[in-house]
Amino acid sequence: MKISLIFISTILVLSVVLPFLLFVYNGAKNTVSVKKQAEAIIKGNGLVYSLKEVWRKNFIGISTDNKAITHIKFNSDKSKTINDINLIEVKACNIIKSYQNGANKSQSLKSLALEFIYKTSGKPNTIVSFFDVDDDLTEDFELQRIEKWQALIKNAIIAQPNLKLAS
């Protein structure tokens, strides 16, 4: 009687704890994999990053001289999207939020992106996606993350000297 109770209790505890541990391990392994892939890519561009962040399948970093932003998105089909943005050419940085209506007339976040507006009018704006409900089902502090990066980028844009060349 006592052995069967211990056996059933052990199986019950393992059935609850083991999946949780597997999810945590798998998430940590994916993050380490994305970090390694991003480090291999950015090693060749010659920039040193003062601040960088990895979440899900994304990497973003700002150079130590605050003149460049690099964003890498690793897609599910093993391809990657790399955005190297020179902040000297950027006039403004805006957050683009998109919402969708739910069944109960409630709104949920559909996508979050940063839009880089350039000083030259001929250059099209660059949009860097931080969250898309089609790629990720749940938001994981992306709103706080995008606000933090927008503030960093705005400070870097303001700090850039606005020099005009003499003719």
Given this model, what pLDDT does residue 166 score?
54
Given this model, what pLDDT does residue 11 score?
92
Q: Mean of the pLDDT values across residues 37-48?
A: 77
Asked if pLDDT for residue 120 goes beyond 80, the answer is yes
Report the mean per-residue pLDDT for the chain. 82
Q: Where are the beta strands (DSSP E) in the chain?
A: 49-55, 58-63, 68-74, 80-86, 90-101, 107-118, 126-132
Lowest mean pLDDT across 27-36, 50-59, 64-73: 27-36
Give the pLDDT confidence of 11-42 residue by residue, as tens digits: 999 898 888 888 888 777 777 777 787 777 77
Between CA 26 and CA 133, with CA 128 as vertex, the angle to 5 degrees is: 55
Give the pLDDT confidence of 127-162 residue by residue, as tens digits: 988 888 877 766 678 888 889 989 988 888 877 665
pTM: 0.72
